[in-house]
Structure 1
Amino acid sequence: MSRSRTRRQRHPLRSEPVPARIEFLAHDGRGVARVDGKTVFVDGALPGEEVLLRYVKRRRDYDEAQVEELREASALRVEPGCPHYGVCGGCSLQHLAPESQIQHKQEILLQSLERLGGVRPDAVLAPLTGPHWGYRRKARLGVKHVIKKGRMLVGFRERRSSFVAELAACPVLHPAVGGRIEALAELIAGLRARDRIPQIEVAVGDAAAALVFRTLDELGPEDRERLIAFGRETGPHVHLQPGGIDSAAPLWPEAAPLEYALERHEVRIRFRPTDFTQVNAEINARMVDRALELLELSPGDRVLDLFCGLGNFTLPMARVASEVVGVEGDTGLVARARDNARRNGLANVELIAADLGRPMDAVPGFDRPYDKVLLDPPRSGAEPVIAPLTRLGARRIVYVACRPGSLARDAGELVHSHGYRLARVGVMDMFPHTAHVESIALFVRE
């Protein structure tokens, strides 16, 4: 008998629905119940609800289920704003009122800080919130020609599946793209290379949108003309990516820069559609404002910006501080950040390409003192740089995080090992209707 067969028999799914009461929300937005002493994660359920759940997967330490019948609904439950919600994996919290979504994210952040980092903030900042619909300026959409359905699908993956969800439109995507899902599917269905385009990357600037078509083979002239015609008729710039990220190039128009403004700081940032930029323009602008307010910059300050990217924080800080040094591992982003500094007339910015995962004594910029430091690391956090940066003499450190667990770990080190105090912390609703938690924290050393 095979091993997989033995495993299936050891943990068979219960065929009948099981009554349960949802106790709280997990970090990923699923409801959590206890059935026969075992934890069950339930898609689409909210705290306090009485449900009949149906098991979809059994594991050694926990089970997974979905709601078969909602017997008693939470007062916080709302009607999802998208007809594809529940199947499409792009959102996970549309059934929860927006104000309760942000409260849940704040609770996850504070719990993570205390449980994983052993720290509590002196004060909690008011959440930064913005539009709940049409906000998403960056996305990767799957593309699949499904023979059984007789159609081309373009969209996010189905929830907990690798299949592409069947979408007519997407209300969380920027309208320049979200309202054109069916048109995109029809476009690709008419291409000769329709089975050789697995993905479309979406990027939206203030004045234009771009679509990057990932291609497994070089497109023929007829397909290229169809893509160009689509761009001309509907507006989005068209790019092709036949290989790695650096292979992406504009097809139409030939010169197609994207740009966004941080108007309060009189900064405009150009970017390529494959560059990392924040998905939510309004929250990003308010996040930059808050970061600068927390740093309390003055004209004489020397500031270090780690994981600086295109200069999203670097350039606004340079409007105030006497000197700003930005360090980033992606050489392409550094080159474009330098170009952005030049375009904005900022001569007090030094931008350095360096791997922030290696020993810091080998990184230029770590050989001088700073008054303030800003960190905006990836999901893995800033663990390699925490100890070295504490030797630079900064009185204030602002840490922007996209994963509460990483922030909590690094906060614990800053507070317990290096004499900093967690003065302020707060959440920012960068991804409404998802369980993603974006946060900002201020550390102070007297």
Structure 2
Amino acid sequence: MVQFYKAKKNTPTRQKFAISVEGLDQFGQGVGHYQGKTCFVEGLLPGESGEVAVIDNKRHFIRAKLITLTHTSPERRKPLCPIYSQCGGCQQQHISEALQHSSKAEALLRLLKPVGVEKMDRVIHGQSWHYRRRTRLSLRVDQAGQLVMGFRRKKSSEIIAVKECPVLVHKLNTLLVPLQQCLAQLDAVAQLGHVELVAGDNDKVTVVLRHLRPLSAADLKILEQFSHNHSVSLFLADGQQHTLLSGEMPWYGINQLNLYFNPQGFIQVNAEINQQMIDNAIKWLDIKPTDRILDLFCGVGNFTLPLAKFARSVTGIEGLAELVSKAAYNAQHNGITNVAFYQHDLEQDVSRQSWAKEGFDKVLLDPARAGAAEIMPYICALQPERIVYISCNPATLARDSQLARQLGYRVIKVTMLDMFPHTEHLESMVLFERH
């Protein structure tokens, strides 16, 4: 009898070594050195040491994960979230808030050093827990037929069930369990995509339910009853449009103004930092009653309308027609008449736009992560006295700051905005003036 043997696959053993780290990058990774290479270690803080396993060994750097902690930093904190080690929503709950601020600020300064930035204004921060007024939760039915509602696991598409989240505002937190129980009753439970929760400043939380097929009359009745029992506004989204099943459009308040917004549209998720950011922009622009201001990527008027209280006029430009319409409505609703809103894709040429031929004394821009490389030459050609740039991506901010410098502007002030405490996200504000 002939026997055949199959060779076992060789499973490479991950290299392990001991290391101490001296710094922290903006993503919350410890930074140390091993065998002449920079080593980034997830989970290790400055002043700490431990045994780590190599995840990725490149020519100039190593990425590793912590296996055993042998020396602990006083900056280490116990995470408040019971599923912090699994959930991919937060990355820095184990780090003190002071160290989060300083490490992000230092990372921002490093990126802006080539344009002459040497110091940081105060970090703009606020409440670090229960600050997030908007969230999206994924939905799926597991192998046992049970509905799972939650966030994605770290570096995975798997959904981790969430019953409470310490970064969500209380109004959203208390809704998580009853909402999951309600959705689990629906006949169309397997055809649900995701659910979004938004806490505006009106009394009702707004719930947007994404469904992949039309809902039955019985399902609609269950949802409507839930909206009444929990005092929520409920929108249904089928991928083409959203329909208000029960309740009202949400709004939020800033500078004694009420701004209405589409529940699926963009708003700043941290209300406290948003207000401080607006106040700081007004201060940095040093607005005079004769100033004509240009607000680019204006959204629903988050900056436009507060600035208009101090200026001669403000012109807001936004790429999405729905946001332009909402911004104009908000101006009318709040009795502000010295503003004008236009729709234009700011990644495209603006030279033929009617508003682009006007003169402006000051400019504010709040672009998406891609930054504003296409519009910066136009902004600088206007020769405004001051430019305030709100950034959600330090890499594109650094690139656009280099461009502004080449076109005659220099950075006067920069500050970090702690918009998303306990995460790796780094937001900032920069003030430019002409050389």
TM-score by length of 2: 0.93
1:178-193 pair list within 5 angstroms: 178-193=173-188
Q: 1:429 matched to which residue of 2?
A: 418
**Residue 270 in 1 paired to residue 260 in 2?**
yes
1:117-132 pair list within 5 angstroms: 118-121=114-117, 123-132=119-128
Q: 2:408 matched to which residue of 1?
A: 419
Q: 2:250 matched to which residue of 1?
A: 258
1:139-150 pair list within 5 angstroms: 139-147=135-143
SS of the aligned residue for 2:375 comes to: helix
User: Which deviates further from its counterpart, 168-177 or 62-71?
Assistant: 62-71
In 2: Cα distance, 1:151 partner to 1:43 partner: 33
Q: 1:20 matched to which residue of 2?
A: 19
In 2: Cα distance, 1:104 partner to 1:300 partner: 40
**Residue 203 in 1 paired to residue 202 in 2?**
no
Q: 2:150 matched to which residue of 1?
A: 155
**Residue 439 in 1 paired to residue 428 in 2?**
yes
String of CA shifts for 1:8-27, please: whole Å, max 9, x gaps.
97xx6535753222343233
User: Match for 2:420: what amino acid?
Assistant: F
Contact 1:122 1:424 in 2 (8 A): no
The 3 A distance-change label for structure 1 pair 71 and 375 is same
Q: 1:3 matched to which residue of 2?
A: none
In 1: Cα distance, 2:274 partner to 2:302 partner: 9
| Deviation at residue 54 of structure 1 after TM alignment | 3.4
The 3 A distance-change label for structure 1 pair 15 and 393 is closer
Contact 1:113 1:405 in 2 (8 A): no
SS of the aligned residue for 2:431 comes to: strand
The 3 A distance-change label for structure 1 pair 337 and 370 is same
**Residue 303 in 1 paired to residue 293 in 2?**
yes
1:47-86 pair list within 5 angstroms: 47-56=46-55, 63-86=62-85
Q: 2:6 matched to which residue of 1?
A: none
Contact 1:355 1:363 in 2 (8 A): no
In 2: Cα distance, 1:441 partner to 1:67 partner: 36
| Deviation at residue 181 of structure 1 after TM alignment | 2.3
String of CA shifts for 1:242-265, please: whole Å, max 9, x gaps.
014xx1221112xx1111111xx3
Contact 1:30 1:43 in 2 (8 A): yes
SS of the aligned residue for 2:398 comes to: helix
User: Match for 1:169: what amino acid?
Assistant: E
| Deviation at residue 99 of structure 1 after TM alignment | 1.6
In 1: Cα distance, 2:356 partner to 2:50 partner: 56
**Residue 365 in 1 paired to residue 355 in 2?**
yes
- Residue segments in structure 1 that go unaligned for 5+ positions in a row: 1-7
**Residue 238 in 1 paired to residue 234 in 2?**
yes
Contact 2:43 2:66 in 1 (8 A): yes
1:340-379 pair list within 5 angstroms: 340-379=330-369
Contact 2:115 2:410 in 1 (8 A): no
SS of the aligned residue for 1:388 comes to: helix
In 2: Cα distance, 1:68 partner to 1:181 partner: 33
User: Match for 2:84: what amino acid?
Assistant: Y
User: Which deviates further from its counterpart, 358-367 or 32-41?
Assistant: 32-41
String of CA shifts for 1:406-426, please: whole Å, max 9, x gaps.
1111111111x1211210000
SS of the aligned residue for 1:186 comes to: helix
SS of the aligned residue for 2:131 comes to: coil
Q: State the Cα RMSD in Å.
A: 1.9
Q: 1:167 matched to which residue of 2?
A: 162
| Deviation at residue 365 of structure 1 after TM alignment | 1.5
TM-score by length of 1: 0.91
| Deviation at residue 359 of structure 1 after TM alignment | 1.1
Q: 1:177 aligns with which of 149, 152, 172?
A: 172
The 3 A distance-change label for structure 1 pair 24 and 216 is same
Contact 2:51 2:69 in 1 (8 A): yes
| Deviation at residue 183 of structure 1 after TM alignment | 2.4
SS of the aligned residue for 1:156 comes to: strand
The 3 A distance-change label for structure 1 pair 22 and 180 is farther
In 1: Cα distance, 2:220 partner to 2:417 partner: 40
Contact 1:137 1:279 in 2 (8 A): yes
Contact 2:29 2:44 in 1 (8 A): yes
String of CA shifts for 1:105-158, please: whole Å, max 9, x gaps.
1111111112xxx1133752111111111110122211122225x632212211
SS of the aligned residue for 1:69 comes to: strand
Q: 1:392 matched to which residue of 2?
A: 382
Q: 2:133 matched to which residue of 1?
A: 137
In 1: Cα distance, 2:208 partner to 2:38 partner: 42
Structure 1 stretches of 4+ moved >3 Å: 15-18, 32-41, 54-65
String of CA shifts for 1:20-57, please: whole Å, max 9, x gaps.
22343233222234444455433222122111223456
Q: 1:4 matched to which residue of 2?
A: none
String of CA shifts for 1:52-80, please: whole Å, max 9, x gaps.
22345666765544322211111211111
Q: Higher RCO, 1 or 2 (CA under 8 Å, sep at least 6)?
A: 1
In 2: Cα distance, 1:66 partner to 1:181 partner: 32
In 1: Cα distance, 2:58 partner to 2:94 partner: 26
1:29-40 pair list within 5 angstroms: 29-40=28-39
User: Match for 1:318: what amino acid?
Assistant: A
| Deviation at residue 184 of structure 1 after TM alignment | 2.4
The 3 A distance-change label for structure 1 pair 162 and 102 is same
Percent same amino acid among aligned pairs?
36
- Residue segments in structure 2 that go unaligned for 5+ positions in a row: 1-8
Contact 2:197 2:207 in 1 (8 A): yes
User: Match for 1:396: what amino acid?
Assistant: R
